[in-house]
Structure 1
């Protein structure tokens, strides 16, 4: 029989979708039976008490978790999120129930042996509950006691060759897509860049020194499988400079509805009969900049107006391919709605070559110039995007040494006044005063 009655949580199991409540009940039962013969290092009934405290939160309409102080492992300022229950007498198994973040591998590639090692460790020294993956991307270990933190950390770093992820006002664990390891559209090796920057900025990742959190995310192509443009302070999105490659014979076969050339690679047309493929309806008319048209039997593209939305390439993958002059764009300032509302990333660098031979110097130079400015000017709990809103995008261009370009304009200016700095005008303001007096004062 369950230790706690959970009528509110039971309702969450009644719907058509899988419920976390069922998973927790199963884990509580496993721990109670101790089927694996494990000598648990934290209370056996911790998951049962977790169900109880969540039920009480539903009943009272408020949380029963409190912030009871800073907790972590020696030498690190992040990686552990302290969790304490405000009803320790009712639920002693979760009196302290800390979360640990484990850095996910690039592209989230795992071996089964590695996953078994993680779960075995957490069954012994934690609740056995994991989250794959948290919003930051990390593997999440949910629930352990303070004495077990150092034990878990030692096992991770010494025997599993693994590290904790980021938490607090620091660089969060970088996250990337599968990239060139599996995707034909990859414009750069997102796995390699993510791995390099993770190692390069270990100090920033583990020892909080920023005004607030800072996230890197890497999309190897404009399809944006990581959604970096909406979820990171600095997103790296693969792109290309030259023209989209066109196979006119393949275009003709798509238009002719050749069975070997299904539109969308057959991915979305199989669920219902959409009728014959119509290139005007399904590709040309959906181009956001109207840069495509048919000229006789040939497809034409005005690449100077292409915004790399990828729709045409995704729809006719055997006819259209990304260009050969590849690199990435850097966007900055995306975040969730904490202070000034949700923001998408703003384009900072339209194109930069990705060169691992010089340790990505062109990219790290931009990163560090932004960090210097943000750490100097940012207010407490102010994300980079909010600092840009407060001081202006022009200030960001100044601190990074990037010249203003048409791609930086989000919308035409509405301020009728133009202000020049002294060093922006040849001769300075004294010359302007002399010229004004000469021609306008009598």
Structure 2
């Protein structure tokens, strides 16, 4: 295939950072169809519109998700990308790979596709960019039979679950994120591969409130590790931090001299709920007021640790639609034990309860957070049979009207109305 003139793309190679343009040019030496990727992209820059057609159903036998159909709207000019499908491959929990596995995966992609990859997509999948329709089944056969890996999710289904490093490497993790992510991925294979939902659905697992997979901003159900007892304090270590014998933030900023660590200024004064103070040289925390922001623990990791009674907070409804803008998920369950011993029974029960409700009343292409927004949070928590808590409230009410259910009013709601009407008639 012929090379294309790409003056606009060439400018991207002149900056200080590595450029995908350089990588694509190198790949095109062994995969000539990549020249047509560059040519079509250059034309898109010139015309300021995409030249990929929208939509197109394509997949492998038995699966409705995992492959994103992509076709050029100029196949005569760019025959190498007339169909150039994206394959999503499920990533291992926490994205742990062996070098042997990566080499085998890349060998497979060089055999059946363009060799162009994206590690990773925003959901988490391994993204393999560009292959022909006739190559899909052979690739899928080799992927599953030779490597023992599977496709991820795409379309109106459960997207591939993702998790942080969890207990494997992080001392703050309050539950085993890898295990629950793996088990739920196995349990919900049908929901991942055969779209049946109103729209996409994601759950992500973060081991602590640092939320390293940004579950609170991106997933329909966020499982974020937390604790419900008191932050553990090593007062001797606190004194060492104050004396300057331990570096703040675990020495993460050791390349620059930030001056002497000031506990009052750098921790206590910027606590969002002002729940910390010093009594003499001892640090005190009013744990009832703590919102688990993790700042104090991150700054003084040798002095402070999460509490010992650990589990997770469950938040529901993150979304980022174009028209209304991004919305973080809402706290629904403040604390839930996350244990393999009970096979994650409570979490699974909640997930499936949300699905049953959403699949019944959710509109087409409406995320569960948008459904919650449409019907209102009070209706949602009532359907979920969950008691409301102050943490669910975004802001104080501004509407002066209060509505009561009849069973909530002592003496009977109807009788009170009758008395009210009688007084006003008089």
Coarse TM-score class (shorter-chain normalised):
over 0.9
Using structure 2 for the length normalisation, give the TM-score: 0.96
What is the Cα deviation at residue 358 of structure 1? 2.0
After TM superposition, give the deviation of residue 430 of structure 1 in Å: 4.1
> Measured at CA, do residues 418 and 275 of structure 1 come closer, stay the same or move farther in structure 2, by a change above 3 Å?
same
Aligned equivalent of 2:65: 78
- Distance of aligned partners of 1:398 and 1:47 in 2 relative to their CA distance in 1, 3 Å threshold: same
* Match runs of 1:191-340 below 5 Å: 191-258=178-245, 261-268=246-253, 270-340=254-324
CA contact (8 A) 1:370 1:399 kept: no
Superposed displacement of residue 73, structure 1 = 0.8
Q: Aligned partners of 1:2 and 1:76: how far apart in 2?
A: 36
Give the aligned partner of residue 34 of structure 1. none
Aligned residue number for residue 7 of structure 1: 7
Displacement of 1:316 after TM fit?
A: 0.7
Q: 1:117 to 1:291 in 2, by over 3 A?
A: same
Question: How much has 1:364 moved relative to structure 2?
Answer: 1.1
Deviation at 1:423, TM superposition (A): 4.1
Quick check: 1:370–1:396 contact (8 Å CA) kept in 2? no
2:72–2:83 contact (8 Å) kept in structure 1? yes
CA contact (8 A) 2:227 2:309 kept: yes
C-alpha contact (below 8 Å) 1:211/1:382 kept by paired residues: yes
TM-superposition CA deviations, 1:361-411 (whole Å, max 9, x none): 111111111111111111111111111111111111012110011221121
1:380 pairs, out of 337, 360, 364, with 364
Identify the range of structure 1 (202-211 vs 118-127) with the bigger mean alpha-carbon deviation. 202-211
Partner of 2:22: 22
Aligned to 1:57: 44
Aligned partner of residue 416 in structure 1, secondary structure: coil
Q: Give a deviation string over 1:90-114, Cα, whole Å, max 9, x none.
A: 1111110000000011110111111
> Are 2:401 and 1:417 equivalent residues in the alignment?
yes
TM-score (norm 1): 0.93
Distance 2:351 2:323 in 1: 23
Tell me if 1:406 matches 2:390: yes
- Most deviating of 103-112 and 333-342: 333-342
Separation in 1, partners of 2:256, 2:193: 50
Q: Is 1:395 matched up with 2:379?
A: yes
> 2: CA distance between counterparts of 1:157 and 1:382?
32
Does the residue aligned with 2:117 lie in a helix, a strand or coil?
strand
d(CA) in 2 for partners of 1:210, 1:238: 27
Give the conservation status (yes or no) of the 8 Å contact 1:369–1:399: no
Equivalent-residue separation in structure 1 for 2:183 and 2:259 (angstroms):
48
Three-state SS of the structure 2 residue aligned to 1:161 is coil
Structure 1: runs of 5+ lacking an equivalent: 32-43
Contact 2:406-2:414 within 8 A present in 1 as well: no
**Aligned counterparts of 2:408 and 2:154: Cα–Cα separation in 1:** 42
Counterpart secondary structure, 2:153: coil
Q: Is 1:98 the counterpart of 2:82 in the alignment? A: no
Task: Give the distance between the partners of 1:68 and 1:301, measured in 2 at CA.
Answer: 55
Judging changes above 3 Å, is the alpha-carbon distance between structure 1 residues 89 and 102 closer, same or farther for their aligned structure 2 residues? same
Check if 1:151 corresponds to 2:151.
Answer: no
Unaligned 5+ runs, structure 2: none
Aligned residue-pair number: 426
Q: Equivalent residue of 1:367, what SS?
A: helix
CA RMSD of aligned residues (A): 1.7
Equivalence for 1:89: 76
